[in-house]
Amino acid sequence: MTKKALVLYSGGLDSRLVVRILLDQDFEVTALYFNLPFGCGCCNLNCNFNFTQKERVKMEIFDVTKEPYLSEYLQIINDPKYGTGAGINPCKDCKIYIFKKAKEYAEKNNIDVIASGEVLGQRPMSQVAPAKKIIDEALGFELLRPLSAKLFPPTKAEKESLVNREKLYSIQGRGRKEQMALAKEFKIDYPSPGGGCFLCEKEPSKRLSVLIEKKLITEETLPITMKGRHFWINDTWFIVARNMLESMMIEKFENSVKSEKGKPSVYLSNIKKIEKAKELQKAFSTGKEEEREKFNEFKL
């Protein structure tokens, strides 16, 4: 009988190692990648797909930038049950959301084990022991964490010898030396850590909290939430392009003022405020600095 494992796959070093660890224990592995609205993956999708192809595992993409998942995720950010970090990052709630969706997938596909590349102590908001306890209690099912498994009591899968506990690890802390050594042993290529989550950063998170509260982030507007200069004026969201590429993105929207003669394009959430959009366009062209400064108080 074929053993099946689902790996929560970010594309980073840790999740790639877990894929290999479970392949070496004769599991048929599916790598489940969550495309989150505000980042967190370690690499681009092509690189992630190339790795799974090389390892001959199926990669499934769960796209949280699309409905109905986007609205669900924005609600979690707007009203997190377990608090946030330095920004508006609801790390515990985010993990619980991802793991529960993974459980739904596993049940539909008769998968025996759900595994994560989490390492105890690596991330203060979601991978320390108290956070793990909160997350695990909220989940209501066992998650296998192969890289730190020997630091925890055996899971049912280990007790029943579905997973060989002796071939799991006891890695902890924020360093990556042990994982890098394993990658060398397994001959695994991996990307440098990067990307990160915009929700953790104080400046973008202030903007996002306003946009989420005002219900202005949709499938359509999501791509421009992290582009350009943002302003909230008279109950209207304005985005002023900083370069040609941003202008091209903004000009795809019906509610926009097109760039012309050195003036950037401007997106506006309420077309009735077109004159204010034109003021912003003029101020952020090749005009004087004092013209821009009068909009500082409205920055998001």
More confident residue, 165 or 38: 165
Kindly give the pairing relationship between strand 266-268 and strand 256-257: antiparallel
Per residue in 196-250, pLDDT (tens digit) is: 678 887 777 889 999 999 999 999 999 999 899 999 999 999 999 999 999 999 9
pLDDT at position 139: 83
Whether residue 123 has pLDDT greater than 70: no
Please, what is the end-to-end C-alpha distance for the chain in angstroms? 56
pLDDT at position 198: 80
Mean pLDDT of 288-292: 82
pLDDT band at 70 (very low <50, low <70, confident <90, very high): very high
Mean pLDDT of 3-24: 95
- Kindly report the CA angle at 60 between 152 and 209, in degrees rounded to 5? 75
Which residue ranges make up each domain of the chain?
Answer: 3-186, 227-298
Q: Number of helices and strands (H, E) in the chain? A: 11, 8
- Between 3.40.50.620, 3.20.20.370, 3.40.50.10860, 3.50.50.60, what CATH number should domain 3-186 receive? 3.40.50.620
DSSP string, 190-217: -PPS---BGGGSHHHHHHHHHHHHTT--
More confident residue, 194 or 212: 212
Whether residue 40 has pLDDT greater than 80: no
CA nearest to 7, candidates 127, 102, 92, 149: 102
Structure tokens at 98: 């991802």
Indicate the helix (H) or strand (E) that contains 156: helix 156-159
Structure tokens at 106: 């596993």
DSSP structure class, residue 239: E
pLDDT band at 280 (very low <50, low <70, confident <90, very high): very high
Place of tokens 């390892």: 55
pLDDT band at 46 (very low <50, low <70, confident <90, very high): confident
3-state secondary structure of 52: helix
pLDDT at position 175: 83
pLDDT at position 277: 96
In Å, how far are 11, 16, 49 from 46, measured between CA atoms? 10, 14, 5
What is the distance between the alpha carbons of residues 225 and 223, in angstroms, rounded to a whole number?
6
Mean pLDDT of 7-12: 92
Per residue in 250-262, pLDDT (tens digit) is: 999 999 999 988 8
The answer to whether the bond into 68 is cis (omega within 30° of 0) is: yes
